[in-house]
Amino acid sequence: MSLLLISISATAGEIDTRRSLPMNEMQRDHILTEMRALLAGAQGILSALARDDMASVADHARPLGTGMPHKGEDHMKAILPQEFMQMGMSLHRDFDQIAADAESLKDPKHTLKQLSDSMGKCVSCHASYQIRVTDPSTRSQSKTIRHNH
């Protein structure tokens, strides 16, 4: 426990060198909604793996695949770096593969490795980027405009 506290306090004073992604509140809400859906889906996959329920693994993974992004996300391409978009699409392809392999291979250890590799992309992205709201006046819009996955 004390090692954890030392580690946290050592990094608390460091300068955040992640690349800033400037966006308005609505765009931020859109990105964070998708990230929460990915996190919830990953938790669902882990829960299904703990039960050796590979059909449920596929059911949780499939909606996170390449069918998850919607045409409405075209507005995000203009503000997000190409590397960010590529990493996101790679993650969606990973979930397509997890769903397909869960159904065909039915191998929980294989799926666990796939999920671990995919979560590594999440960690890498969060270590590389941070969201900065540039137009706080859009806050009221973000309350009324919702993008649900």
4 bridge partner residues: none
Residue 120 lies in a domain: yes
pLDDT surpasses 70 at 141: no
pLDDT of the residue at 138: 47
The pLDDT of residue 144 = 39
In a domain, 3, yes or no: no
User: pLDDT tens for residues 73-96?
Assistant: 777 888 999 999 999 999 999 999
- Whether 89 is covered by a domain: the verdict is yes
pLDDT digits (tens, 9 = 90+) for 34-78: 999 999 999 999 999 999 999 999 999 999 999 986 655 777 888
Domain containing residue 88: 18-144
Q: Is residue 123 part of a domain?
A: yes
Output the domain CATH number for residue 70: 1.20.120
| 24 is a domain residue | yes
Q: What integer is the mean pLDDT of 10-22?
A: 84
